[in-house]
Each structure stands twice: as C-alpha cells, then as structure tokens.
C-alpha cells in the first residue's frame, strides 16, 4: 500500500498498531486516555460493525468500539 | 432493565447518599471498580440484596447500599457506578468519585476484572492515592481460568501493599474472603500502599498523569499476570464475526428478537388458558358465594365484574407472556449481547447525531420504559441524554407487549395456538417493533435537527466478553423482580382501576352512564384516528399501568351490553366485533399503543431525571402527537382506498 497509515481509523480488521499521541481535546481526549490509549500502547483492530462504523479495537485486554471520526484523532507510530 | 423498586423507587438515589447504619459501630465500605467487572454481583452475594445485574457496562446508574455482618464487624456496603478512573467526567462516574473523596467510607473495596487486570490497575492506583484503607478484590477468576490467565495474588498484594482477595462473584465462600480481609485490615495498623511516582513537574498535564499511571500499572502487573495470549478471546471473536458481522449482524439481530417473541407467544398459550380457566372457575364459586350471602347486586357487580374481572384478565392474559419475555431478554443481557446491539445500531444513531449508547437504553425500554429512562444516565452529554429520555417510550415496554400480542392474535392470525400461527404472530410483532425502532430513529433525528441541535459527543463503548448465562439466577430474579412485581402492580393499580371503570360505567347522569358521556365526547376525535371513544378513554385510564388497557376496554363494552364470558379469546373477539371493531381499528389501537404518552411511573422518572416539568410534559406530548398523526394517516389512507 502506498499511502502510509497514520491514524487508528486506518487500521483494517486484523491489523495492529502502536499509539503515538492523541490529537484532540476535551471529553473525548479524557475518554481515550481512560481506556488506556497512551504512548506505546498496542492496539489491534478486531472488526467493523455492520454499518462499517464504529470499529472494535482490542486495547489492554478490553474490546472497545470507537467511531471513525474519533479514531481519526489517534495517531499511530507504527503498524505491525 | 426491569422496573423494580430498586430501579425507580426509594432505593435509587443520586449524589450524596444517606448511609443507613444499623449500629453506630457499622463501618461504611465503598465498592468501586471499572464498569462491568461484577461489582453488582459481589454486592448481591455480600448483602443478599437483589441489585439487578447484567453483562454490560454502566449497569449501576444509581448507588445502592446493603448491610452485612462478619464475625467481628457490621459493614454497610455502598455499590458505586463503574468508573475507569477518578478523573471522572460522566454523571455516574462523578457519583463514584464524589463519594470516594467525601471521607464517608471507612474503607474501599476495589473490584477488578481478572481478565484485564492491567487496565483495572488505573483505578486501583488512583484509589490508593485517596483512600485510607483499601482491599483489592480480583473478580472473575473463573473466567480468567477459562482464558488461561493466571494471577499471582500474593505478589500483587505485596507490590500494592494492601490485601488482595481472589473471588468468583456469585460464590458465597469466595466473597466471604472479602469480609475476612476487611476484618483483618481494620485490626491492623495503617496501610502503606504503593504510590505512583509522577514526573516531577509542578504542572502535570492530564496525559502525563495517565501515562504515569499506566506505566506503573504495567510494572505492577508484570509477573503477576501470566497468560497464554493465543488462546484468549478466540471464541468471542468467532461469535462476534457472526453477531456483529457485515452480512449477519442485522439479520441475526432480527432473528434473535423474533425468536424471543415467538417463545413468549407460543409458550404463553398454555399457562394463559390454564389461568383463565382457573379464574373462571373461581368466578363461578365467588358468584355462588355472593348469592348465598345475599350481597346486594350493585356491590356484587362492582366487586366481581369490576375488580375481579380486570384483575384476573391482567394475570391470565398479560402475565404469562411477560413472565416468559422478561427472563429471555435478561438472558440476552446476561450473555453480553446488548452491547453488541448498541455496536450494530451505532451507525444509524450517529446519523441522528445521537449517542450509540441510546441503543442500550432503548433495549432497556423493552423491559420497562421507566428503567430505560433511568438508564439514560450512562450517556454523558446532556443533549444526547435528553434525546434518549424523550424517545425512550417509543419502544413498547413489557407491559404493552401482551396488548400487542392479543390484538395481533385476534385480528390477524386467527385460531389461537398452533405452531404456524405463533410464528406468524411473532413476525407481525416484529414488524411493529421495527416500526417502533424506526420511529425512534426518525424522532431522534427530528429532535436533533430542531430542539436539541448539536454534534455527537465523545463515545466509546466496551464490548464485554461473552459470559455463560446463569440460568437459575435469571429465573429466580425475574420471578422475583418481574412476575411478582407485575402481580403486585396488578393488585395495586388494576383493582382500583377496575372499580373506577365500573363506577364510571354504572353511575348515570341523565339516563346515560358517565363512561358513555365521556366516550361520546371523545368519539368524534377518536373516529378520526380509527378508534372509538371507549378505546381513547381506556388509554387515558390506563395511564397508571399499560397492562390494564385491554381489560378497561372490555369492561367498558361489557357494562354497556350483556355480560359475556371473557375468559377466552374467541368470545373476546366477538365482543369487540359487536362493538364495531374492524381490522383497521385493531391496527390503529396497536399503533396508538406503541406511540402514546408513557405511563405515570415513566413520566415521574422523566421528571426526576430531567428535573423539569416542561420536558416531562414534552415527553408525554411528543409520542402522543406522533401516535395521533400516525393513526389519522392510517385511517385516512384506509378510508380513501376502501
């Protein structure tokens, strides 16, 4: 793939990535921090809902659904 | 999900609970933990109370408390709503934080999920910072074992500097250990728990704080948690691929719902017939007794034809489908399917500028709208919470299902019983539900474009692991919470209502009964909606409890004409036909049953949750308006065509 994956929402089911930083403020930032999306956290995308949005991610042992527009604000260091 | 005293009654209170100590020496213990780690189950096992538990995050929206005694002390446990952290921001998380910081609790028990301990450590570490005494309870050890996760409890206790207890929530013996640990900790010296080392900066950003907490959590759990990762979650992923997959997600949802309906309808036939035979038998005996005692005709008629008939109707026809539907629904909840429904339905809610969790509160509404309205507290944004509260009554509650089922059975399926007809009934009911859910979307969209404008707020939804349902537990609690509750409500509401309707029908003014005066007055308007005056009156009189809608209609018709035996559906149909019912009347009644003002309990709950009579009035007017318009439209189209 030519385009480099940078955001959490770009992960396809089955792919895994490492969090770099969150680029958003306010409630959503706190939410994302609460569920453990801090630097170097490993995230696996495990599926999409029937409507394609939100997607489900495995984060620190819990499966959490995040909407695309919110997942866009999570930047990834690397995709494994 | 159920309408219970706990959900809407005295037991449910908000911030600043009053602690009900039985003895001065009682110690107050706060029960904290992440959402969905089984706090409520631990609480129930400890105190023997019946906090409703289910498998989805945010179950406990109001704090509950209960007392229990150990060998040495009396403890008052306060069950707090689940929180991920104490940097709380949603209403329910605030409840938890405020209570923990208030200094009221003598100790805190933090309940953790053994299957994702590292994430739970976040809350544990923050609690250790503010609490004098802490006991950690690592719950769901059985689930962890199945997932081949091993936890070294002693090492964890050593590292944290506080007692750690391993437990399986619904086993009394393992929960007992919590009490032992508490007893011991109150005897010993002060605790010196682990403290997180934050970067030495005066102004620490929230992100640095959280990052430090997680780093500490990882260090603590390193070596404590041993897991064979490969095996984990495999089964859940496979199930999720079907239940939330692109192809099967929606069909499976409809299929499961239809199955639940079918079992309720099919399964209710037999007990229903049995009950109504039994009631008819008792009726005859009572009648004979009343004659023998020479009780005046008017009183006999009021008690037997008024109170007894309505009461026995509610029990015989309404109760069986409810008694079956409720545990089935609780089963889906217990397994962990409801969050998947929210996950599947998030996209349409997103399009309505609403919160995906509204799907959860909508599902709760199927059980009971009042409980659904209380459940709306899991939605953080006030705007989205209001959307969810106002539209909750658009899905029929447990009290309205039997009415819908009866109407469908009478007018569209024909013969009672039989495999095929129950499948057809379930299908038609499903259509009505799809209509109700569609209307929920439509009205939510409309509101978010007009009165409650705004953009969707932060939303994350946890999809908990599937859990094996505790069938026995579900049966016991639904009998206790729902069946008995409906019975009591039937006695409390249906009996006086039966008397009232009898009085209305038998007190005359100028040669006509009060009921027919009122019905005549409403009749022209009701005709426009494809109903008649009596049906509309019945909706008004059924305001305290939707269960009694059909019995009131029957009472009204019966009091006007000759007495017919109402035990069987066949005679019921002929009674309705005699009074001018057509299939279109049945359709309009069903539609108005879906969309009309919520029952009094629900409205009072709306008032409590919104703290505004205006919004409460709006919550009543909105569905009524929709219902009136729908019925008029259906009726008009029908008149045009035929």
Delimit the domains of chain A by residue range: 8-79
What structural domains does chain B harbor?
5-232 (3.40.50.300), 249-453+490-641 (no CATH)
Residue A22: closest CA among chain B residues belongs to which residue? B207
Tokens, residue B91? 């209403």
Residues in chain B with CB shorter than 8 Å from the CB of A55 are: none
Better pLDDT: A13 or A27: A13
How far apart, in whole angstroms, are the C-alpha atoms of residue B618 and residue B585? 27
How far apart, in whole angstroms, are the C-alpha atoms of residue B543 and residue B551? 13
Q: What is the structure's pLDDT at B6? A: 40
How far apart, in whole angstroms, are the C-alpha atoms of residue B457 and residue B381? 6
Q: What is the structure's pLDDT at B624? A: 96
* Closest partner CB to A39 (pick from B118, B211, B459): B211
The 3-class SS string of B53-117 reads: CCCCCCCCCCEEEEEEECCCCEEEEEECCCCCCCCCCCHHHHHHHHHHHCCCCCEEEEEEEHHHH
Tokens, residue B459? 């939303």
Count of other CB atoms within 10 angstroms of residue B192: 8
Q: What is the structure's pLDDT at B54? A: 55
Q: What is the structure's pLDDT at B16? A: 43
* Closest partner CB to B84 (pick from A27, A35, A65): A35
Q: What is the structure's pLDDT at B443? A: 96
How far apart, in whole angstroms, are the C-alpha atoms of residue B400 and residue B397? 5
Residues in chain A with CB shorter than 8 Å from the CB of B458 are: 26-28, 30-31, 70
Mutate to test the interface with B, among A36, A70, A71 (most CBs of B within 10 A): A36
Q: What is the mean pLDDT of residues A48-57?
A: 89
- Which B residues in the span 78-97 are in contact with A, Cβ-Cβ below 8 Å? 84-85, 87, 89
Chain B: give the shortest CA distance to residue A28, in Å.
5
Q: What is the structure's pLDDT at B5? A: 37
Q: What is the structure's pLDDT at B91? A: 65
* Closest partner CB to A49 (pick from B233, B249, B464): B249
**Chain A touched by B26 (CB under 8 Å):** no
Q: What is the structure's pLDDT at B435? A: 95
Closest Cα partner for B162 from B123, B190, B122?
Answer: B190
* Closest partner CB to B206 (pick from A30, A46, A47): A30
Q: What is the structure's pLDDT at B535? A: 93
* Closest partner CB to A30 (pick from B87, B119, B249): B87
Mutate to test the interface with A, among B343, B360, B464 (most CBs of A within 10 A): B343
Q: Is B236 in contact with B466 (CB distance < 8 Å)?
A: yes
Q: What is the structure's pLDDT at A2? A: 44
Q: What is the structure's pLDDT at B541? A: 86
How far apart, in whole angstroms, are the C-alpha atoms of residue B404 and residue B503? 27
Distance separating the N- and C-terminal Cα atoms of chain A: 14
Q: Is B136 in contact with B165 (CB distance < 8 Å)?
A: yes
**Residue ranges in chain B whose pLDDT is less than 50:** 1-17, 59, 61, 230, 562-564
Residue B345: closest CA among chain A residues belongs to which residue? A51
The angle subtended at Cα B353 by Cα B349 and Cα B356, nearest 5°, is: 35
Q: Is A15 in contact with A76 (CB distance < 8 Å)?
A: no
Q: What is the structure's pLDDT at B57? A: 54
Sequential DSSP letters for B556-574? HHHHHS-----SSHHHHHH
Q: What is the structure's pLDDT at B305? A: 76
**Chain A touched by B77 (CB under 8 Å):** no
Q: What is the structure's pLDDT at B486? A: 73
Q: What is the mean pLDDT of residues A47-65?
A: 88
Q: Is the peptide bond before A24 cis (omega within 30 degrees of 0)?
A: no
CATH fold of A8-79 reads: SH3 type barrels. (2.30.30)
């Amino acid at each position: 793939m030519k385009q480099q994956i940078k955001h959490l929402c770009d992960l396809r089911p089955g792919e895994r990535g490492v969090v770099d930083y969150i680029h958003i403020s306010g409630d959503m930032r706190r939410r994302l921090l609460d569920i453990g999306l801090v630097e170097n956290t490993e995230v696996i995308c495990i599926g999409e809902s029937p409507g394609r949005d939100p997607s489900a991610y495995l984060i620190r042992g819990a499966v959490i659904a995040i909407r695309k527009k919110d997942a866009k604000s999570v930047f990834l260091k690397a995709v494994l | 999900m159920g309408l219970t005293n706990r959900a809407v009654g005295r037991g449910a209170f908000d911030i600043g609970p009053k602690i009900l100590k039985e003895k001065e020496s009682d110690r107050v213990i706060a029960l904290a933990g992440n959402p969905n780690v089984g706090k409520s189950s631990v609480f129930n096992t400890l105190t023997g109370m019946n906090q409703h538990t289910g498998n989805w995050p945010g179950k406990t929206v109001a704090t509950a408390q209960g007392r229990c005694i150990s060998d040495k002390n009396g403890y008052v446990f306060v069950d707090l709503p689940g929180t991920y952290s104490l940097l709380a921001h949603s209403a329910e998380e605030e409840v938890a934080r405020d209570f923990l910081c208030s200094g009221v609790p003598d100790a805190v028990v933090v309940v953790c999920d053994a299957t994702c301990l590292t994430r739970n450590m976040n809350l544990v570490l923050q609690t250790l910072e503010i609490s004098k005494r802490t006991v950690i309870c690592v719950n769901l050890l059985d689930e962890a074992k199945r997932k081949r996760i091993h936890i070294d409890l002693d090492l964890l206790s050593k590292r944290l500097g506080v007692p750690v207890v391993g437990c399986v929530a619904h086993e009394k013996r393992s929960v007992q250990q919590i009490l032992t640990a508490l007893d011991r900790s109150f005897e010993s010296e002060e605790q010196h728990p682990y403290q997180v080392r934050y970067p030495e900066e005066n102004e620490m950003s929230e992100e640095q704080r959280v990052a430090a907490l997680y780093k500490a959590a990882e260090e603590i759990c390193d070596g404590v948690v041993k897991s064979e990762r490969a095996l984990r979650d495999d089964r859940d992923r496979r199930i999720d691929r079907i239940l939330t997959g692109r192809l099967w997600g929606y069909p499976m949802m409809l299929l499961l719902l239809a199955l639940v309906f079918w079992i309720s309808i099919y399964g209710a036939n037999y007990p229903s017939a049995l009950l109504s035979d039994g009631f008819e038998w008792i009726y005859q005996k009572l009648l004979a007794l009343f004659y023998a005692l020479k009780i005046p005709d008017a009183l006999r008629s009021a008690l037997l034809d008024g109170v007894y008939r309505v009461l026995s109707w509610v029990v015989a026809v309404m109760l069986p489908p409810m008694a079956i539907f409720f545990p089935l629904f609780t089963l889906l909840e217990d397994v962990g399917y409801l969050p998947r429904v929210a996950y599947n339905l998030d996209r349409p809610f997103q399009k309505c500028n609403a919160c995906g969790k509204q799907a959860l509160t909508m599902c709760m509404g199927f059980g009971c709208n009042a409980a659904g309205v209380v459940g709306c507290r899991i939605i953080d944004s006030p705007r989205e919470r209001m959307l969810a509260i106002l539209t909750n009554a658009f899905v029929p509650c447990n009290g309205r299902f039997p009415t819908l089922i009866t109407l469908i059975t009478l007018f569209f399926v024909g013969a009672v019983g039989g495999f095929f007809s129950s499948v057809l009934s379930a299908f038609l009911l499903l259509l009505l539900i799809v209509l109700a859910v569609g209307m929920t979307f439509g009205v939510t969209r409309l509101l978010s474009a007009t009165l409650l404008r705004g953009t969707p707020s932060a939303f994350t939804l946890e999809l908990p692991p599937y859990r094996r349902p505790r069938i026995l537990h579900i049966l016991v609690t639904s009998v206790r919470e729902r069946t008995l509750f409906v019975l009591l409500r039937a006695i409390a509401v249906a009996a006086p209502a039966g008397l009232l309707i009898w009085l209305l029908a038998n007190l005359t003014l100028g040669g006509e009964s009060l009921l027919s005066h009122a019905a005549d007055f409403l009749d022209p308007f009701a005709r426009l909606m494809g109903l008649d005056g009596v049906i509309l009156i019945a909706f008004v009189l059924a305001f305290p409890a939707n269960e009694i809608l059909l019995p009131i209609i029957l009472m009204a018709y019966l009091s006007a004409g000759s007495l017919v035996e109402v035990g069987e559906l066949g005679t019921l149909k002929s009674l309705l036909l005699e009074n001018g019912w057509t299939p279109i009347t049945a359709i309009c009644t069903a539609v108005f049953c879906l969309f009309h003002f919520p029952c009094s309990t629900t409205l009072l709950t709306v008032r409590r949750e919104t703290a505004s009579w205006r919004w409460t009035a709006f919550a009543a007017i909105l569905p009524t308006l929709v219902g009136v318009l729908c019925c008029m439209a259906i009726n008009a189209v029908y008149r045009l065509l035929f």
